[in-house]
Each structure stands twice: as structure tokens, then as C-alpha cells.
A and B are shown apart, each in its own frame.
Chain A
Amino acid sequence: MNDATEVGQVPTIAEASRLIETKALSPVELTDLLLKRIEKLDPKLNSFLLVTEKLARKAAKKAEAEIMAGRRRGPLHGIPIGLKDIYSTKGIRTTAHSRVLEDHVPKEDATVTAKLAKAGTVLLGKLATHEFAIGGPSFDTPWPPARNPWNTDLSPGGSSSGSGAAIAAGLVLGATGSDTGGSIRSPSAFCAVAGMKPSYGLVSRYGILPLAFTLDHAGPMAWTVEDCAILLQAMAGHDKRDAASAKVKIPDYRAALRRDLKGVRIGYIRHWHDGEYPVEPEMKAAIEAALDTMRGLGAEIRDAPMPALSDFAPAGRVIILSETFAVHARTMQTRYKDYGERFRSNVTPAALFSANDYVQAMRSRQQLIERTRAAMAGFDVMISAAAVGAPTKMEGFDRDAAFKRPSITMPFNLTGLPVMTVCCGFTASGLPLGMQVVGHPFGDAAAMGVAHAYERATSWRAKRPAMAR
């Protein structure tokens, strides 16, 4: 199950967009191809909670008619995508993969849902997630958990598990994710796809089911960095309905993609890899090989003096659990058993925190933001692993895992920095490894630019899971 194969017939968003623009590819044909792939492959993956086949065919026909009539809206017109099932979709079930919302049908779209529809995308369906975007693969929710197309015995990461699995298997060309402690970056790393956690405030969270208000980020996932740039262009922008939405100028993300890294100053967060909590040896080797590649493209690389991972962990843990509990307390009081065991096990310890603990965590967070800003001075981007190593097993649930080891992704939720995650190689057994490219606040374009140059210089995008053939 572990071997990879050359890319088959599924195009990237950029490729499909060019073909659609020149009328060499029909959105209807593309949608039909992907629906057939979903029918064939998804029973092994469970990446979809709902396939909106009729709506997809209708949207594809509409897109095709508009394009043929000379009314092409842009690069996403006619492109089939999926939405993580915490993004509200008017009239379409939105469940958060939970019994608690098993029959929930929103009355309006999330801002991002509406923006992607306006850009002309074709919605293929709603994608699996860890329950309410926290925890891990659960077997006691109404739908089975998504599986990793590189090896279906392994986790696709999460919480945007269905998004990662569906993209890697070539069931959608792009998808949305959300990231409160690593939920875009973990599945991107485990499924060998590209995932962008934008700067906090860049993409509206209105209509996306909240997990932890001050840590939640919405972002795109796709096969390549360029595809993420295309999606982010449509998703980003101020939204008065999101209290944390930033009023910033939105650059042309695709235009900022680079071919080389001449003069780019990269900070390597070395001590996160071989310090108190070392990553797996193959991950460390892959990151160092990636740094060599980037050096070869002209980058200057020095060690970045970031705070230790263990400095971030207490604040991250207290904030994410306190805010999540605040969202779910009322429902947990009355419907505790309707949540899956993993959700309950993760979130209920928040009941042990006090108001003082939360405020101290937020004060610690402010200090960490300032320390991170100082550590990043003199660098254009920073690099670290996106996961400790290769994907982990689906089965088996170490209740204490989240407490034992500090997250390598949470620091950038606490600090709100943009992070582009890309594949940086494979283990000897053919499993994906992922890397974080971290930008300055609202330096999303710079992070994507560096990641794109690296991605183009490697052959990782030529591999797909064997089952994706």
C-alpha cells in the first residue's frame, strides 16, 4: 500500500484552469471524472461525509455555459473542490463530523463558502474532519474517520483529515481546511499535499463552526503551492461579520511565487528538531536536505533563536481547551454522550482550569508573540518540520499523547503567523514528510513564494499514492 506512482490523469488547479480557459477541458467532464473517482476510491478513504453530486453537475454545467459564452470569472471557474464539514453551506448538511450536529442544515453560507462559489468553483461535497476539528480519528461518530491514501492503515492527520486525503487521492483539486493547533498543516504533511494556514485575520471565519476563537484560522489546501495561492486569492479579504478580520491590502499571491531564493534569509529552527523533543531521524534528514536545496536556490540560512516548544505548550493547551469548552459547555452539559470519546477526552480537562489560568495563558501568549517577533528579525521566513515524523496509525488512542509532547505547529496559532506547509520528501518506506515555511504577520505571499521555489526544485509533486492511479 505504500508505494507511489507517477501522477495520473488528475490535473492541478493551475493546469485545469489553463485547459478550461482555452476550452481544451470541460468543467462538466472534469466534474464527471472526479465524481467517478470518488465513487471508486472513497469507500476505502471515507474522505467525504456528503457527496453533492446533483448540485455539482448543475454547477459544472452552469460554469461551462458561462465560459463558453465568454463570461469566465477567473482561475477557479469550473474547478471542483470540497469543503471541510465545519464550513456552513446553505441548505446542505454541515455536521462537524459529530452526532451533535448530525442533522444540522445551515440557513446561510460561510463567507468563504460564498466567496468560493462566487469564484465559480464546483462543490463536490463536504469533507471529513476530526469531530469539531479537534482530537483524532474517531470510530464512535456517525461517520467513519478518513484514512490516509498513502496507506489506509494510517491516519491522514487532522483535523482537516478529509481535505488532505481527498486531495492526495485526486478526488478534488482543492479544499478548505481550518487550523487551530495544526489542523491544516498536519494533514498536509501526512498526505503530502500543500496547505496554507494564513495570517490570523486574513481569511474570514464567519459561518465556520468555531473551535477556539483566538486560535482559529481558515485556509486552503491543494496539491501545489500555486494552487493554494489561487484558492487563497479568492478566500482572503476583510469581512465585517468576523470580529478578528483584518483590514489589509490583499496582494497578488500567484504573482509573488518565486523561481529562485536569491537573497532570501531563512531561519532554521534547529532546536525544535534535535532538542528536548527531537523529531524522527528521517524527518530531520528531510528538513536538512530541503535546506540544502534552498541554499542551492540562493537562500542564506542561519539558525533561528525561537523560544523552546515547551514554552509555547502550556499557553496553547490552556487557551485551546478553555475556548473550546466555552463553545461547547452548554451542549456538553446536556448531551455529553453525543460527543465522541476522543472529543470528550480532549476537551473535558478544560473544566479544571480557572479564569486566572486563562488570563495567565493569554499574558504568556503576548510575551511569546514578542519573543517570536524578536527571533524572526533578520529573517524573511523560518523553517521547521510540520510533524514529528511520518503518519501514525489509525487505530489505538493514547489518551495522554497531547499532554506528553509539545505541538510543533501550535506556536504559529498562538502567534498568528502565516505558514505554508509543503511535502519535503518521503521515508524509506514511502510515507510523506512535511515542512513548515513560516512568514511574518501578513507575509503570506513571502512564505508561499519560498515554498513554491522549493517545491519546483524537487520531484515530490510527481508522486501520488498508488491508489490514486
Chain B
Amino acid sequence: MSTPEPMNRAEVEICLKRAGLTLSPEQIDDIHRVSGYVREYLAQLGSDRPMAVEPALTFKVTP
């Protein structure tokens, strides 16, 4: 499996800044490089669900 095409680097930098992280250029490179995987995961996750589908916000802990 080859490394997927990363996200736009500026977009990655904005996300990291919004998260309050101040990273070195090398550290940003690391995250930018794997950002393609993140995008792929999010595409697989999708959002096309019936409107009534609830999140598993609170786990049903009683059987």
C-alpha cells in the first residue's frame, strides 16, 4: 500500500494551529505526510447515514 496523497500543507498547518500545537517544520512534515491516510479514513467513514442514526454517545452498559 503506497502512501496516499497528503492533504494541502496549508490546511494541515491551520488544523495544527487551531489545535493549539506549535510544531517545528519537521514535525509538521510528519503530520502532513500521514494526512493522506487521515483523509482516506474520513472518506471511508462517510456521513451518509439515515438522519435517525444515533451516535453511541453513552455506551449501553446494562445488558
Nearest Cβ on chain A to B7's Cβ, whole angstroms: 7
Nearest Cβ on chain B to A379's Cβ, whole angstroms: 16
Is the Cβ of B35 less than 8 Å from the Cβ of A352?
A: yes
Nearest Cβ on chain B to A189's Cβ, whole angstroms: 23
Residue in B15, B41, B55 whose beta carbon sits within 8 Å of that of A362 in the complex: B55
> Which residues of A lie under 8 Å from residue B7 when comparing CB positions?
352
- In chain A, residues 193-209, which have Cβ atoms closer than 8 Å to a Cβ of chain B? 200-201
Is A325 located at the chain interface by the 8 A CB criterion?
yes
Is A38 located at the chain interface by the 8 A CB criterion?
no
Known: A329-B20, A332-B21, A404-B1. A318 touches B59 (CB 8 A): no
- In chain B, residues 6-51, which have Cβ atoms closer than 8 Å to a Cβ of chain A? 7, 12, 15-16, 18-23, 27, 30-31, 33-35, 37-38, 40-42, 44-47, 49
> Which residues of B lie under 8 Å from residue A315 when comparing CB positions?
45
Nearest Cβ on chain B to A431's Cβ, whole angstroms: 25
Q: In the bound complex, how far is the Cα of B23 from the Cα of A442, in angstroms? A: 44
Is the Cβ of A318 less than 8 Å from the Cβ of B42?
A: yes
Is the Cβ of B62 less than 8 Å from the Cβ of A214?
A: no
Is the Cβ of B35 less than 8 Å from the Cβ of A349?
A: yes
Interface residues on A, range: 35 or more
Residue in A246, A333, A344 whose beta carbon sits within 8 Å of that of B61 in the complex: A246
> Which residues of B lie under 8 Å from residue A400 when comparing CB positions?
3, 34, 37
> Which residues of B lie under 8 Å from residue A441 when comparing CB positions?
60, 63
> Which residues of B lie under 8 Å from residue A244 when comparing CB positions?
59, 61
Is the Cβ of B34 less than 8 Å from the Cβ of A363?
A: no
Nearest Cβ on chain A to B40's Cβ, whole angstroms: 8
Is A353 located at the chain interface by the 8 A CB criterion?
yes
Known: A318-B41, A403-B34. A200 touches B21 (CB 8 A): no
Is the Cβ of B61 less than 8 Å from the Cβ of A201?
A: yes
Bits for A231-251, please: 1 = Cβ < 8 Å to B, else 0: 000000000000011111000
Q: In the bound complex, how far is the Cα of B22 from the Cα of A336, in angstroms? A: 8
> Which residues of A lie under 8 Å from residue B57 when comparing CB positions?
362
Q: In the bound complex, how far is the Cα of B41 from the Cα of A318, in angstroms? A: 8
- In chain A, residues 409-446, which have Cβ atoms closer than 8 Å to a Cβ of chain B? 416, 440-442
Is the Cβ of A333 less than 8 Å from the Cβ of B62?
A: no
Is the Cβ of A364 less than 8 Å from the Cβ of B45?
A: yes
Binds B, one of A114-122, A219-227, A365-373: A365-373
Nearest Cβ on chain A to B60's Cβ, whole angstroms: 8
Is the Cβ of B63 less than 8 Å from the Cβ of A367?
A: no
Is the Cβ of A403 less than 8 Å from the Cβ of B37?
A: yes
Residue in B19, B30, B40, B49 whose beta carbon sits within 8 Å of that of A329 in the complex: B19
Residue in B3, B27, B31, B33 whose beta carbon sits within 8 Å of that of A352 in the complex: B31
Nearest Cβ on chain B to A159's Cβ, whole angstroms: 20
Q: In the bound complex, how far is the Cα of B43 from the Cα of A310, in angstroms? A: 12
Is A361 located at the chain interface by the 8 A CB criterion?
yes
> Which residues of B lie under 8 Å from residue A458 when comparing CB positions?
none
Closest to B1 in A: A404
Is the Cβ of A313 less than 8 Å from the Cβ of B44?
A: yes
Is the Cβ of B47 less than 8 Å from the Cβ of A360?
A: yes
Nearest Cβ on chain B to A269's Cβ, whole angstroms: 20
Known: A244-B61, A359-B55. A352 touches B12 (CB 8 A): yes
Nearest Cβ on chain B to A404's Cβ, whole angstroms: 5
Is A317 located at the chain interface by the 8 A CB criterion?
yes
Q: In the bound complex, how far is the Cα of B21 from the Cα of A333, in angstroms? A: 5
Most B CB within 10 A of own CB, among A329, A333, A349, A365: A349
Is the Cβ of B44 less than 8 Å from the Cβ of A314?
A: yes
Nearest Cβ on chain B to A147's Cβ, whole angstroms: 26
Q: In the bound complex, how far is the Cα of B56 from the Cα of A366, in angstroms? A: 5
Residue in B19, B20, B59 whose beta carbon sits within 8 Å of that of A416 in the complex: B59
Is A345 located at the chain interface by the 8 A CB criterion?
yes
Most A CB within 10 A of own CB, among B7, B20, B45, B49: B45
Pairs of residues from A and B, 5 with the lowest C-beta to C-beta distance, nearest first: A362-B55, A201-B61, A351-B19, A403-B37, A314-B45
Sample of 10 more A-B contacts, CB < 8 Å, known A336-B22, A360-B46:
A246-B61, A333-B19, A333-B20, A336-B21, A349-B37, A352-B12, A352-B31, A360-B47, A363-B54, A366-B53
A-B contact pairs, 27 of them (CB 8 A): A214-B59, A248-B62, A313-B44, A314-B42, A314-B45, A315-B45, A318-B42, A329-B19, A336-B23, A344-B30, A348-B30, A349-B35, A349-B37, A351-B16, A351-B19, A352-B15, A352-B38, A356-B47, A359-B55, A361-B45, A362-B57, A367-B49, A369-B56, A400-B3, A400-B37, A403-B34, A416-B59
